[in-house]
Structure 1
Amino acid sequence: MSDDVNIAVIYYSSTGTVHQLAEAVVAGAAEAGATVRLLRVAELAPEEVVASSAPWAAHTAATAHVPVATPEDVQWADGIVFGSPTRFGNVASQLKQFLDTLGGLWGRGSLADKIYSGFTSTSQLHGGQESTLLALYNSVYHFGGIVVPPGFADPIKFVDGNPYGTSHVVGGQGEIPVDETARSAGVFQGRRVADVTRALKAGRRA
């Protein structure tokens, strides 16, 4: 029987930082041999609000080709990695709204026993990275899911510094680009999620 695993990387990003982290997670999962879907959640902000910010409008246009996530993508996946910028120490409303559409799958038990993980970004140092990921994982506990954080399971995490999930500080004006440390942490996280998911599937077949 095939040991292939399906990984969905589902994220919200307004100006591109979380999107770049998502691409790193995708790369890591793909390196581990997983079939990966990169998916964004729907934008909830009014068009005029998005248009009022040049970086926001530019990123929205540049990622219009990325498929919008659906509950069917979550059903398909063996492992899901969610990405969200911090909003006052919590998950962005766009991603939270998507999570709230999964009630049907939850009611059928279809969210249970899958692997879940998360990543984030903030404008400021100590801007709520850990609390955002912990808030995200609250939903996973209700799903009956299995949280697989990166921990400090790779030396890069001692540099990245966040065992809850890959994270990056972008600065108040978005002036700090995603660096090699953050990308490497994302790649490691994607690879770890794929590897643990594969091991779980193999154990169930044994």
Structure 2
Amino acid sequence: MSPGTDRDAVRVAVVYYSATGHVADIARELADTAEKSGAEVRLRRVAELAPREAVESQPAWAANEAATADIPLAAVGDVVWADAVLFGSPTRFGNVAAQLKQFLDTLGGVWKKGELADKVYSAFTSTGSPHGGNESTLLALMHSFHHFGGIVVAPGFTHPDKFADGNPYGTAHHDAGGTLPVGDVTRNAARVQAERVVRVARALATAAP
């Protein structure tokens, strides 16, 4: 922040939906890295919309819900508060999961007031297979960022860890049908993304009149 501002830390919100936990793992990595980079961070999950019986019918889904119960639910105010927002969703037929999409739809009021504009936005995802829609899901999220009037900060191929990850649009994991946990390649890519988001958000805040 510039010397004349009333706060020193860039504000970063990590807002996500995760069913079986892979997106949640990436969200934690992003949040931890942003905090280590000097940002004030809010880690937030969006509300579950699926019926209880659907969640309880899949052990991994139920286990992730229990494991993340202490993470606060996202509110519109979390996005308004932030200088930079990282949105995460598993892919659903190559698109954003309904749970996160429903939250995005609640932002209409603050969007109309211009309160989503000029923030930094970035995206992350997880899919069941390497070609299961991760890039299309990231790009779908970016459609919303453009409508917000946001500044889209993708990680790009800006670091050797992104060449290993192979996705310039955001961090993307594939879980091989639920059998592959989030590993070092994905975590390293998430760190690159979070550091870049904080760096750009800080530069924009410092340059602001």
TM norm structure 2 = 0.96
Gaps of 5+ in 2: none
State whether structure 2 residue 184 is matched by structure 1 residue 180.
yes
Q: Percent identity?
A: 59
Match of 2:26 among 21, 24, 27: 21
Match of 1:89 among 71, 85, 94: 94
SS in 2 for 1:14: coil
Structure 2 letter corresponding to 1:156: D
Is this contact kept in 2: 1:9–1:82, CA < 8 A?
Answer: yes
How many residues align structurally? 204
SS in 1 for 2:180: coil
Structure 2 letter corresponding to 1:153: T
Q: Distance in 2 between matches of 1:189 and 1:166?
A: 7
Q: Which consecutive segments of 4 or more residues in structure 1 shift more than 2 A?
A: none
Q: CA deviation at 1:3?
A: 3.8
Deviation per residue, 1:64-106 (Å, 9 max, x gap):
1100000000010000000100111000010000000000100
Match of 1:198 among 188, 199, 202: 202
Is this contact kept in 2: 1:124–1:169, CA < 8 A?
Answer: yes
- CA-based RMSD: 0.8
Q: Which residue of 2 aligns with 1:99?
A: 104
Q: Distance in 2 between matches of 1:163 and 1:27?
A: 21
Structure 1 letter corresponding to 2:146: Y
Q: Distance in 2 between matches of 1:91 and 1:119?
A: 11
TM norm structure 1 = 0.97
Match of 1:130 among 125, 129, 135: 135
SS in 1 for 2:206: helix
- Point out which structure has higher relative CO (alpha carbons under 8 A, 6+ apart): 1
Q: CA deviation at 1:42?
A: 0.3
Deviation per residue, 1:2-42 (Å, 9 max, x gap):
44210000000001000000011112211210001110000
Q: Distance in 2 between matches of 1:92 and 1:75?
A: 22
